[in-house]
Amino acid sequence: METQIMAMQAVVFTSFFIMERVKPARHYPDAPGWNWWWAAVQLYAAAWTASYLSAWSGLPLIWHPLDGLSDWQQLLIGYAVYSFAAYWWHRAKHRFHPLWHYLHFAHHAAAHMETRVAFWRHPIEIFANSAVIVIVARLGLGLDATIIWSVLVIEGTLESFHHANVNTPRWLRPLGYVVQIPEQHLVHHQRGLHRFNYATITFWDAIFGTLRLPEDWNERLGVSVWPRFSRLLYFRY
């Protein structure tokens, strides 16, 4: 199962990575050094993820309510619970200044939008997100490493989509009431706003009043310190 889902993410990421270079929705100024910094973040993320997933089975189980269900049933329920928790965790990172300043600011600093921005995070945010995943998925649901890895790959696939620098056809825009589309995430990253559209599955945004589905978008992205990467790393902003 996890192999199939990983293949799906690879196909989606690669497809949008190519599409946004062949026919980008918007043109953004270059950010010197971005490729190297992005690659460094991915190396850290890969090493950290491999380490904590390898230790997953050794983490304590408080309860395991999904025992007896098939892997696919556990995946469906696990993703639903994870997406709900991720919505509120994401809102908290915007609402509370310490979480915004030390965790999430770096992700929103980018003055451009493309598929790779989905995986542009401050190392401390990567660590903090992992802690939330452990609390929800391991301690809360008792999921094994295979299931939670599949949950994360699905989430990464959908994030690759809504961070992509592509245009969603008008006839497909209602998809934004189910999963977040690129135009919605531009609103979320809009300079001076950085609000709304917190969930990958927009059902949660619709319920809690944070869903926005724009007809058009012609604003700016990011923050003023971009692309001074060392300032982002050391919180000098």
Q: What is the pLDDT of residues 136-149, one digit of tens each?
A: 999 999 999 889 98
Task: Answer whether residue 29 is part of any domain.
Answer: no
Task: Answer whether residue 204 is part of any domain.
Answer: yes
pTM of the model: 0.93
Task: Answer whether residue 25 is part of any domain.
Answer: no
Q: What is the pLDDT of residues 181-214, one digit of tens each?
A: 999 999 999 999 999 999 999 999 999 999 999 9
What was the pLDDT predicted at 199?
98
The number of domains in the chain is 1
Measured distance CA(208)–CA(199) in Å, rounded: 11
Task: Answer whether residue 125 is part of any domain.
Answer: yes
Measured distance CA(139)–CA(81) in Å, rounded: 13
Task: Answer whether residue 33 is part of any domain.
Answer: no
The domain of 69 spans: 2-20+38-233
Task: Answer whether residue 83 is part of any domain.
Answer: yes
Task: Answer whether residue 108 is part of any domain.
Answer: yes
Instruction: Give the CA diameter of the chain.
Output: 53
Task: Answer whether residue 207 is part of any domain.
Answer: yes
Cα separation values, 20 from 33, 159, 164, Å: 20, 15, 7
Residue type for position 3? T
Cα separation values, 131 from 96, 134, 135, 141, 205, Å: 18, 5, 6, 14, 23
